[in-house]
Amino acid sequence: MSTVYAIRAEWTKLRTVVSTPWLLFTAVAVTAGISAMVTNAASNRTCPVPSPCLDDLPKLSLTGAQYGQALVVVLAVLVMSEEYGTRSIGVSLMAVPRRWRLYLSKAAVLTGVVVVIGSLGVLGSLLFARQVLPGTAFSAANGYQGLSLRDEPTLRAVYGTVLYLALVALLSYGVAAMLRDTAGSVATMLILLYVAPILTAVVTDPRWLTRIERVSPMIAGLKIQATTALDSPTIGPWQGLGVLALWAAGALLAGLLSLQLRDA
């Protein structure tokens, strides 16, 4: 079977699974919904008007991605682990004997789907923020620039967030290929993503804080949303996304080796 047919087969499998539409809808709803709630509740009443504060409005408006990614994790894990759970992986390997082709076809379909739902969630978040923020203290009168995709930092935060979600999906997919268990893979990913932010709230040593922020896939990856204080001593936006990309690449390679070397 050629790569094109393998990709078509994987897309057919993914879209016909009952849970897929619900996961996709929920991922978009959570991303846009939480972003909307955070944006709506935002206030800068402590800001000395009319001097502008350092609030990062694009990052604020995209807060929901931190929570929507949990649904992306579940979707990505199911793409691989569900076939092991239903014992249908053997049938897939009979149809696509070259394991690397099956593996990469699944990854390609997953990436495409996550880019689409990530774009919907992110653009929905930005659209709501554009409508709400001008009526709050975050207005042009107080020195804030309106959110616009024509603004390079805002544009970078938007498409960077979509890339972030795609990389989280690939990282989760690689972990699932290694563990071959849905619950274990989801738990591993949630720990990997959310434990580091908790640690930064309790660790007081500046050196350790810097180390955690530089290696955490979530903290480093979400630096791509930053549009202010870009001279941070920890890590820059693209370097942070690069850290997440390295995590994803390592997991994908380990997952491929696991599929190639272990019995299905």
Assign 157 a pLDDT band (cuts: 50, 70, 90): very high
pLDDT higher than threshold 60 for residue 46:
no
Assign 244 a pLDDT band (cuts: 50, 70, 90): very high
Please state, in angstroms and rounded to a whole number, the distance separating the CA atoms of residues 72 and 143: 36
| Res 132: pLDDT | 79
pLDDT: which is higher, 29 or 140: 29
pLDDT: which is higher, 139 or 179: 179
pLDDT: which is higher, 258 or 44: 258
User: What contacts 31, CB < 8 A, 6 or more positions away?
Assistant: 64, 65, 67, 68, 118, 121, 122, 124, 125
Mean pLDDT confidence for 149-172: 94
Question: pLDDT tens, 170-222?
Answer: 999 999 999 999 999 999 999 999 999 999 888 888 888 889 999 999 999 99
| Res 139: pLDDT | 62
Cα 79 to chain centroid, rounded: 16
Residues 76-86, buried b or exposed e (16+ Cβ, 10 A)? bbbbbbbbbee
Mean pLDDT confidence for 142-152: 74
Mean pLDDT confidence for 158-178: 97
Q: Which residue ranges make up each domain of the chain?
A: 3-261
| Res 243: pLDDT | 97
